Amino acid sequence: MADTHCRADGPDTVDPGCLALSCPATTPGGDEGTPVIWKQAPKSITNPGWTNWIPISGPTCLYDAKPENVLANIATRVLNDFRQLPVNPGTLQAQPFPHTLKGGPTNFYTTATEQAFDLTILGQTVHLTATPASFTYTFGDGTSLGPTPAAGYPIPEADWLLNQTRTSHTYTATGNYPATITTSFTGTYSVNNGPPLPINGTLDLTTEPKTIQVWKTEKALVADTCQENPTSWGCPNAEK
């Protein structure tokens, strides 16, 4: 909760901060803010003893005559504001790319990262954090993986066709496949440097399709190298 700082019946009236902290209006003709101290207590206890919220040292300003009401009002609309944020969904990466082989593993991973934003909601400064929590890979051939907490990771080129990762996919037919990834972001918000609170809902973002070209390989025994016989099978000058 936000407890009014330096109230007449409070124990902190001798705090030098009572003389130093002011909360001037943030808009012309607006109301001044209220100095408050953030406090915490266990939910499961009736009439608990409240203690200072340790991450926040000293008083901060709330710009509302009744701070507890503005916090409740922010809570009712924060999910909508969260879903309007310009969150970067990251990109879907594939190894190898743009060409891969039929029957061989293709390693997929995402570059999505945690992102932070500062907004003004109902006159209060609100800090929001969007964190990638789960991922759904759509491989373009009718199959998908997820939701899964695995964001994947890049692997050395020497392992591309040998190493099967948790987010690898094997294409069974040649062709061009539009692959995408949908990232589900969870969020937290804090009001005027108060404690972080969870946002009840997610923000789901899908990347633009990335075309994966699946090829097949053919093998044959030959007697000559391409230097010895430029028209030999498999050489650049061979007949198609």
| Per-residue pLDDT at 89 | 96
Return mean pLDDT, the chain: 87
Q: Check pLDDT > 60 for residue 2.
A: yes
Over residues 1-26, the mean pLDDT reads 66
DSSP-derived pairing of the beta strands 105-110 and 168-170 = antiparallel
The string of pLDDT tens digits covering residues 22-77 is 888 888 888 888 888 888 888 778 888 888 877 677 778 887 656 566 778 888 89
Is residue 71 within 8 A of residue 63, CB to CB? The reply is no
15: which 2 tokens? 């705090």
129: which 2 tokens? 């954090």
C-alpha closest to that of 22 among 52, 60, 69, 64: 60
Over residues 143-165, the mean pLDDT reads 94
Over residues 83-108, the mean pLDDT reads 96
Q: Is the pTM of this model over 0.75?
A: no
Is residue 168 within 8 A of residue 137, CB to CB? The reply is no
Q: Count other C-beta atoms under 10 Å from residue 163's C-beta.
A: 13
Q: Check pLDDT > 70 for residue 232.
A: yes
Over residues 189-218, the mean pLDDT reads 92
226: which 2 tokens? 């391409």
Residue 10's pLDDT band (cuts 50, 70, 90): low
Q: Which helix H or strand E contains 17, and what residues bound it?
A: helix 17-20
Q: Check pLDDT > 60 for residue 9.
A: no
Residue 12's pLDDT band (cuts 50, 70, 90): low
| Per-residue pLDDT at 149 | 97
Within 84-232, residue ranges assigned H as helices are: none
Over residues 231-240, the mean pLDDT reads 75
Residues of the chain with pLDDT > 70: what percent?
Answer: 90
At residue 6's C-alpha, the angle toward residues 5 and 12, to 5°, is: 105
Residues recorded for the chain: 240
Of the ranges 3-17, 81-95, 220-234, which is most confident? 81-95
| Per-residue pLDDT at 233 | 77
239: which 2 tokens? 């007949």
| Per-residue pLDDT at 221 | 81
Residue 165's pLDDT band (cuts 50, 70, 90): very high
Residue 181's pLDDT band (cuts 50, 70, 90): very high
Over residues 175-197, the mean pLDDT reads 94
